[in-house]
Chains A and B, each alone.
Chain A
Amino acid sequence: LAKTTQPISMDSYEGQEVNITCSHNNIATNDYITWYQQFPSQGPRFIIQGYKTKVTNEVASLFIPADRKSSTLSLPRVSLSDTAVYYCLVGDKIRYSSASKIIFGSGTRLSIRP
């Protein structure tokens, strides 16, 4: 069962780039790394997923080193609306199984200040 470790909280300012790192030392060969974002009073929202190297979409970038034991979510030029909890998860992308449960940890509470 892969587990993840990420900072409990982070603070930044509008316009800055924010990098949130997640450790997943026991990641399995079939596991993908997935990040979710959760705003208050809403359900989590998928933002990005990757297996190795770098993935970029309109919301964020995800950097994964060759050993895949960690990953970094990068949010460019954050705004106040990026204030949320960010969760890092690992699991089999293709099929969901009890052997590879996707567990939401405590997440990282990101606070953006003006």
Chain B
Amino acid sequence: DAGVIQSPRHEVTEMGQEVTLRCKPISGHDYLFWYRQTMMRGLELLIYFNNNVPIDDSGMPEDRFSAKMPNASFSTLKIQPSEPRDSAVYFCASSFAGRATEAFFGQGTRLTVV
């Protein structure tokens, strides 16, 4: 398996634009996580899914953020409208039940909002 795949690797956008980050988890994994990492706040859990169902989105900063998982092999994190303070590295990770805390992370998407 190629691991967790995220796209794009880098994204530069203007304030107010919509941004969509994509993630393909490892096949067979039951859990999918979206994290955000900044120097100031470290790694923050935004939302996680179990069997494609969003379980806890309490980490999503505001209504401008939304995440979907239409099937077991694809998830998106959307920011609309984007703001400069959203600039961060966004990671997607997945794991499977029985080894839930052994998550595999993607390479991340570095988002810059100007």
CB within 8 Å of B: which residues of A? Answer: 32, 34, 41-46, 49, 87, 89, 91-98, 101-107
Contact = CB atoms under 8 A, between A and B. Distances in A.
Interface residues of B, number: 27
Given A34-B101, A95-B97, A96-B101, A43 B107 contact: yes
Contacts, number: 65
Interface of B: 4, 31, 35, 42-45, 48, 50, 55-56, 58, 91, 93, 95, 97-108
A101 to B, nearest CB: 7
Secondary structure call for the B interface: strand
A104 B89 CA distance: 15
B104 A46 contact: yes
Contacts of B97: 94-95
Given A32-B101, A34-B102, A96-B101, A107 B107 contact: no
Nearest to B100: A96
B101 A101 contact: no
B98 A94 contact: yes
A93 B99 contact: yes
B100 A101 contact: no
7 contacts: A43-B108, A44-B43, A92-B100, A96-B101, A98-B56, A104-B42, A106-B42
A101 B45 CA distance: 9
Contacts of A32: 101
Nearest to B55: A98
A93 B99 CA distance: 5
Contact of A103 (B45, B48, B100, B106): B45
Given A96-B48, A102-B45, A43 B105 contact: yes
Contacts of B35: 104
B108 A46 contact: no
Contacts of B106: 43
A93 B101 contact: yes
Contact of A92 (B4, B55, B101, B108): B101
